[in-house]
Structure 1
Amino acid sequence: MEDVAFKTDSGAGAADWTNIQKASVDFRRHLHQRPELPWQEEQTATTIRASLDRLGIAWTQCAGTGTIARLAQNAPGQHIGLRADIDALPINEASTHDHVSTHEGCMHACGHDGHSAALMSTAAWLKAHESELPGPVTLIFQPAEEGGHGAKKMIEGGALEGLDAIYGWHNWPAIPFGKAVCPDGAVMAGNGTFRISLKGSGGHASQPENARDPVLAAAAVTMALQQIIARRITPQNAAVVSVTSIDAPSGETVIPDSAQLAGSIRIANPDDRARIDAMITEIATAQAAAYGVEAKVELFPRYDATINDAAAAGIMRDAIAADLGNAWLYEELPVPIMASEDFSYYLKEIPGAFALIGADDGNGHHEPCHSPRYDFNDRLLPIVTRIYARLAGAPLPEQSTSQHD
């Protein structure tokens, strides 16, 4: 492994802040070149743990490739947790920067490399000021956020033991750099997926009367499912039902025996999940029957909505405003956004808050998350390090503001 580990000096003054921020960029780009899929983050975990060792921060393994590090464990104040996710996505990178992914078919297309680097930068700064922290701090490097329920496994492994509150964030290219959102209540939606198998009776395309056409039924089910949002969910509750694939392979003159649909739901109100799932089953079954076709519906709940505790969100908003200024709130972005996050698992257990912090600085960081052209904006690293340091009650480097990074 290349030496990208962090170091701190005993004084931890302005020069050390500069060194930490330089190291955080190097660390982020090192991770970007070596992405790993959920539950496969072995090399990433090794890099994280080696850096913690170099910093003199004790850590424990959790949920396999997850890592928990703790600071100031005997401090009397509130015990907070700070979280980063570490996994990547099965996407071929289409960027041309120097730190492009070297792993075919895998890239950090959501910025988890940056989230990890910001938390490691925070670890370095907090370690240098550990004796000044008012309360204990737990650093959570979590695997498998991308659909792998990594937060759930980290909780089962003890990641939240002793914590009073937890904080996290996500870079967001749809928000301008220098802006952010951190509302009371839901900030990101819950999600789930569904699969509908339609069993008909195939035949010759010239004799549809002798067949029971699953393709026609699939089209009818697809159209009918759109009525869930249009007519059966109140407009005040944000929700999405999307059919994302129809698969009925056959020849041009052959009506197939079967067809399959698949799709996704998004919900802001957790109470809507059961209602929408029931309606998907009801509608698919009834529509298929109208065409003489049988329907089998499978429902797969994924993540619940990420719902901020109001008091914790207020604390995080104060930390954001202290760095970005009083005009930090990006009011043009409706919340909750309909993307999902497994940070929701933590917020179901203890108070906490999750923020979306803007990445688009006009220099190519507008590409959306999960795009093959996406790249994390390194200018966010010192900003988030300061926000996290404020949440932990650590002193900050003098004359260090986001405008100077």
Structure 2
Amino acid sequence: MQADWQSIVQRATELRHRLHRRPEIAWSEFETAKTIRGLLDELDIPWRACAETGTVACLAAGATGRHIALRADIDALPIREASGVPWQSENDGFMHACGHDGHTATLFAALWWLRAHENKLPGPVTLLFQPAEEGGHGARRMVEEGALDGVEAIFGWHNWPAIPAGKAVCPDGAVMAANGTFKVTLRGRGGHASQPELCRDPVLAAAAVAQALQQIVSRRLAAQSAAVVSVTSIDARSAETVIPDTASLAGSIRLQSSDMREQVENLIREIAVASASAYGVSAEVDVVPRYGATCNHSDEAGQMRSALAAVLGDDWQCDKTPVPIMASEDFSYYLNAVPGAFALIGAGDGDSTDHPCHNPHYDFRDALIPDVARVFLQLAGAPMPPVNP
């Protein structure tokens, strides 16, 4: 492939729009995988399927230097798009609301340049196109199926509209939080709304539990510990004159460290059961751990910071963004397996178009493609393309 950087960036942008039109959610990315594999075939790059709809490719397999991996996630979300962009989703009810289309296109921009300069790479470069990041533990299956075999370090990123364009964060240690979900089922005794004394009201108990759980962070954890316990839904549907037998509430947990998980989960159980008991109601608590904290290794984080500085300039660091942010990422599975680093790279323009990820009006910022691809090229030790082609 001819190494024309401007053409590569244009082709990657067109690929991003193509992927955006055809979003597929976790474990259903069959058309997306077909597109990725077809593009690899065009370049005669060997690849193998991994985690069903995932794809692993490798360049410069015989090079003797450090073997690194670069990762892109490929799945979309079950959200009806309202962005109004010309490349809006054609799969009704699904959209690339987190920018994984842009992550994939960016990795291809790097791949196309790396392929043209493969004989100059100091070490092998594995490219991971991973399914099911959105709650599906896709990275775990990629690791289990050997995606990191031979890899000595891995690097990844996520676009972040809350960070201004041209800025980024890439700390040592935790960059994104651990997470989990919980559900509390309250069982009382229903009856006529005119006779609450004969009932054991699970609706009132649910309200009390929801309030009490908010005290975990403010009163049961040290002020230095970053955590979020959010009650996100209460379900106690019944007629206006009927107290129901049961009610349930559900929510999300975010933790700066995976080590905090047991403590917070135990507090949720303790507080829910005790609060319900005060209203004569029983509580069943189900807590489901999801992803661990995404924790950078210091050497690799330093390498990624150097690459970010080389591309974005010396003032690239966003000091106003506290870390870890309390969103979560299954990139944590890779960082538990091999050294590596993960960066959040700014996508904000500072205007009304800065919709957050997972918003129906969101769209990936295409201007990130050349910048982040150049960060990947720095990490791979490749010759660098011109800044202004």
Tell me, yes or no, if the aligned pair for 1:173 and 1:365 is still in contact at 8 Å. Answer: no
By how many angstroms is 1:361 displaced?
A: 2.4
- Note the residue ranges of structure 2 that are not aligned, 5 or more in a row: none
* CA-CA distance at 1:166 after TM superposition: 0.2
**Deviation (angstroms), 1:290:** 1.1
Match of 1:370 among 337, 358, 376: 358
Q: Deviations over 1:138-194 (max 9, x none)?
A: 000000000000000100111110011000000000011100000001000010000
Answering whether residue 142 of structure 2 is matched by residue 154 of structure 1, we say: yes
Q: Is the 8 A contact 1:187 1:336 kept in 2?
A: yes
Structure 1 distance, partners of 2:50, 2:117, is 25
1:29 pairs, out of 14, 17, 38, with: 17
Aligned-pair CA distance for 1:50: 0.6
Deviations 1:236-267 (A, max 9, x none): 11000000000001111111000001000000
* Alignment-derived partner of residue 48 in structure 1: 36
* Residue identity matched to 1:84: A
Distance change (3 Å), C-alpha of 1:340 and 1:228 = same
Deviation at residue 55 of structure 1 after TM alignment: 1.7
Map 1:211-222; keep pairs closer than 5 Å.
211-222=199-210
Q: 1:159 to 1:237 in 2, by over 3 A?
A: same
Q: CA deviation at 1:68?
A: 0.1
Whole-Å Cα distance in 2 between the matches of residues 181 and 71 of structure 1? 28
For residues 139 and 363 of structure 2, what CA distance do their matches in structure 1 show?
Answer: 24
User: Cα offset for 1:362?
Assistant: 4.2
Query: Does the 8 Å contact 1:82/1:137 carry over to 2?
Result: yes
Residue 246 of structure 2 corresponds to residue 258 of structure 1: yes
Distance 1:126 1:248 in 2: 56
Q: For residues 50 and 311 of structure 2, what CA distance do their matches in structure 1 show?
A: 32
Distance 1:264 1:388, change over 3 A: same
The one-letter code of the counterpart of 2:111 is: A
The letter of the residue matching 1:256 is P
Aligned partners of 2:352 and 2:274: how far apart in 1?
48
Superposed, 1:105-120 pairs within 5 Å as 105-120=93-108
Partner of 1:271, secondary structure, is: helix
- Give, as a single letter, the amino acid of the residue that structure 1 aligns with 2:242: V
Aligned counterpart, 1:209: 197
Aligned-partner Cα distance in 2 for 1:338–1:291 = 33
Name the structure 2 match of 1:142: 130
Give the match's secondary structure for 2:258.
coil
Q: Distance in 1 between matches of 2:298 and 2:224?
A: 20
Query: CA–CA distance in 2 between the matches of 1:72 and 1:167?
Result: 17
SS of 2:322 mapped into structure 1: coil
Which one-letter code corresponds to 1:343 in the other structure?
F
How far apart, CA to CA, are the structure 1 residues paired with 2:166 and 2:24? 30
In the other structure, the counterpart of 1:60 is 48
- State the Cα distance separating 1:365 from its structure 2 match: 4.5
- The equivalent residue for 1:395 is 383
Deviation at 1:18, TM superposition (A): 1.1
In structure 1, what is the equivalent of residue 236 of structure 2? 248
Query: For residue 322 of structure 1, what is the aligned residue in structure 2?
Result: 310
Detail structure 1 runs of 4+ shifted over 3 Å in the superposition: 362-365
Shift of 1:364: 5.4
For 1:93, the aligned partner's letter is E
* Mapped partners of 1:365, 1:87: distance in 2: 23
1:268 CA displacement: 0.5
**Corresponding position of 2:331:** 343
**Residue identity opposite 1:200 in structure 2:** G
Q: How many aligned positions are there?
A: 389
Question: Which residue of the partner structure matches residue 89 of structure 1?
Answer: 77
8 Å CA contact 1:365–1:376 kept in 2: the answer is no
Residue 97 of structure 1: how far off its partner (Å): 1.2
| Matches of 1:147 and 1:28, distance apart in 2 | 22
> Do structure 1's residue 78 and structure 2's residue 61 form an aligned pair?
no
Provide the C-alpha distance between the structure 2 equivalents of 1:135 and 1:396, rounded to a whole number of angstroms: 16
Q: Which residue of 2 aligns with 1:163?
A: 151
* 1:186/1:336 contact within 8 Å kept: yes
For residues 289-315 of structure 1, give each alpha carbon's deviation from its aligned partner in whole angstroms, at most 9, with x where no partner exists: 111111100011000110000110000
Q: Which of 278, 291, 302 does residue 303 from structure 1 map onto?
A: 291
C-alpha displacement of 1:271: 1.3
Q: 2:370 aligns with which of 382, 390, 393?
A: 382
- Over residues 119-150 of structure 1, what are the superposed CA-to-partner deviations in whole Å (9 max), with x where a residue is unaligned? 11111111111100000100000000000000
Contact 1:359 1:365 in 2 (8 A): no
Separation in structure 1 between the aligned mates of residue 38 and residue 268 of structure 2, nearest angstrom? 48
Say which SS state the counterpart of residue 70 (structure 2) adopts. strand
User: Letter of the aligned partner of 1:379 in structure 2?
Assistant: A
Give 1:363 deviation, angstroms: 6.1
Percent identical residues: 62
Deviation at 1:52, TM superposition (A): 0.8
Local SS of the residue matching 1:340: coil
